[in-house]
């Protein structure tokens, strides 16, 4: 099979290779998926770069955890009826060497979820890390119907899905973008959006929230913490999946007196029941048309390093890689 891989960590153009590797075989309880589109996420590029300084977890890694594809074969214990089914794949390279940047990937059956006919491959390849993270951020503390949810970074992969899921869940949804120039790019029905570069933005956010926000979905904990503290209601939840400063400073007492819950989200290790709920809801929401991916680039496998570099440069467009030529 054709695959992208790396044998050492480092810059994308230096360590990523594209070539022939042996076809994986599905083991007991696994399915073999022919990958249509492989989703590239910041977590994938950080692993490739050796972001935490950790050594290579395996001698060779085929990157990427997310994908859309078709089940080509099954291992022992898996129903043969799964062969031929379209699926969306998550977690393929979470604690595993073989990800989805390849024509074929073998994963445990539970990591490949059947796709409704109405859901396209682009959206399906974006449901894994960003979708499950967004779901956990929005619903990790219960239903949001009738509540107010503030989602930062609604032009991003997680933020866009989080805002759409919150609307789908019956919340009043507010969102933010970095600057006023970004406002024209937002196309999210049911979401009231604010620019963070506008002075005194906390007051209009609180007003739009009817006096305060119940939950915040946070992409940059260190940058937005003061704003979040200013707009959260007593008993509110701040769910963060990213930060610019790894050691953020917070004003402790106002958060304490407001009984604020801070929830930090590491997608590789969410509780199994939370992931199961996310998978079910994401599939249902996608089938109903409640969620979409507005901006995505599909690159051939030979340009996988370019996709990684775009992610590292901060693009807000989803980056997808096609292991086989698109027809």
Contact between 290 and 116 (Cβ < 8 Å): no
Query: Do residues 136 and 253 share a domain?
Result: yes
How many domains is the chain partitioned into structurally?
2
Report yes or no on 12 lying in a domain.
yes
Domain carrying residue 57: 2-126+293-322
Task: At 171, give phi and psi (nearest 5°).
Answer: -90, 160
Boundary-marking domain end, from 264, 283, 308: 264
Query: Do residues 156 and 112 share a domain?
Result: no
Report yes or no on 277 lying in a domain.
no
Which pLDDT score is estimated for 186?
93
Report yes or no on 134 lying in a domain.
yes
Query: Do residues 118 and 142 share a domain?
Result: no
Which pLDDT score is estimated for 286?
98
CATH code: domain of residue 118: 3.90.180.10
Query: Do residues 121 and 148 share a domain?
Result: no
Report yes or no on 279 lying in a domain.
no
Boundary-marking domain end, from 220, 249, 264: 264
Distance CA 313, CA 325 (A): 26
Walking along the chain (327 residues) 10 residues at a time, the average pLDDT comes out as: 97 98 97 98 95 89 98 98 98 95 98 97 97 98 97 96 98 97 93 96 96 97 96 97 94 95 94 96 98 93 98 94 85
Query: Do residues 218 and 95 share a domain?
Result: no
Which pLDDT score is estimated for 54?
81
Report yes or no on 107 lying in a domain.
yes
Query: Do residues 314 and 233 share a domain?
Result: no
Please give the model's pTM, rounded to 2 decimal places: 0.95
Query: Do residues 11 and 119 share a domain?
Result: yes
Report yes or no on 272 lying in a domain.
no
Report yes or no on 273 lying in a domain.
no
Which pLDDT score is estimated for 200?
94
Encode the chain in three state secondary structure.
CEEEEECCCCCHHHHCEEEECCCCCCCCCEEEEEEEEEEECHHHHHHHHCCCCCCCCCCCEECCCEEEEEEEEECCCCCHHHCCCEEEECCCCCCCCECCCECEEEEEHHHEEECCCCCCHHHHCCCCHHHHHHHHHHHCCCCCCCCEEEECCCCCHHHHHHHHHHHHCCCEEEEEECCHHHHHHCCCCCEEEEECCCCCCHHHHHHHCCCCEEEEEECCHHHHHHHHHHHEEEEEEEEECCCCCCCCCCCHHHHHHCCCEEEECCHHHCCHHHHHHHHHHHHHHHHHCCCCCCCEEEEEHHHHHHHHHHHHCCCCCEEEEECCCCC
Query: Do residues 81 and 181 share a domain?
Result: no
CATH code: domain of residue 251: 3.40.50.720
Query: Do residues 36 and 149 share a domain?
Result: no
Task: At 114, give phi and psi (nearest 5°).
Answer: -60, 140
Tokens coding 135: 């779901």
Query: Do residues 239 and 163 share a domain?
Result: yes
Query: Do residues 186 and 104 share a domain?
Result: no
Which pLDDT score is estimated for 105?
98
Report yes or no on 175 lying in a domain.
yes
Query: Do residues 249 and 306 share a domain?
Result: no
């Amino acid at each position: 099979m054709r695959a992208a891989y790396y044998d050492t960590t480092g810059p994308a153009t230096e360590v990523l290779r594209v070539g022939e590797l042996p076809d994986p075989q599905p083991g007991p309880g696994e399915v073999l998926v022919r990958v249509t589109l492989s989703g590239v996420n910041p977590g994938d590029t950080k692993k490739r770069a050796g972001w935490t300084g950790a050594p290579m977890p395996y001698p060779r890694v085929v990157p990427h955890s997310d994908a859309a594809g078709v089940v080509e074969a099954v291992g022992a214990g898996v129903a043969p009826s799964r062969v031929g089914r379209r699926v969306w794949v998550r977690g393929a390279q979470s604690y595993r060497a073989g990800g989805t940047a390849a024509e074929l990937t073998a994963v445990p059956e539970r990591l490949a979820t059947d796709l409704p006919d109405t859901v396209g491959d682009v959206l399906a390849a974006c449901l894994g890390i960003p979708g499950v993270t967004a779901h956990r951020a929005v619903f990790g503390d219960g239903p949001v119907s009738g509540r107010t949810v503030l989602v930062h970074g609604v032009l991003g992969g997680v933020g866009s899905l989080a805002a759409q899921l919150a609307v789908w869940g019956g919340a009043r949804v507010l969102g933010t973008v970095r600057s006023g120039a970004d406002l024209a790019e937002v196309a999210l029905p049911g979401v009231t959006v604010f620019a963070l570069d506008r002075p005194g933005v906390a007051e209009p956010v609180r007003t739009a929230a009817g006096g305060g926000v119940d939950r915040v979905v946070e992409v940059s904990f260190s940058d937005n913490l003061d704003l979040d503290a200013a707009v959260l209601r007593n008993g509110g939840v701040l769910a963060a999946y990213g930060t610019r400063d790894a050691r953020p400073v917070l004003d402790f007492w106002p958060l304490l007196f407001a009984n604020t819950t801070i929830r930090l989200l590491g997608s590789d290790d969410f509780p199994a029941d939370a992931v199961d709920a996310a998978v079910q809801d994401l599939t249902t929401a996608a089938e109903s048309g409640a969620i979409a991916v507005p901006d995505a680039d599909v690159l051939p496998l030979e340009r996988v390093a370019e996709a990684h570099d775009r992610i590292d440069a901060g693009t807000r467009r989803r980056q997808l890689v096609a292991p086989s030529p698109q027809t």
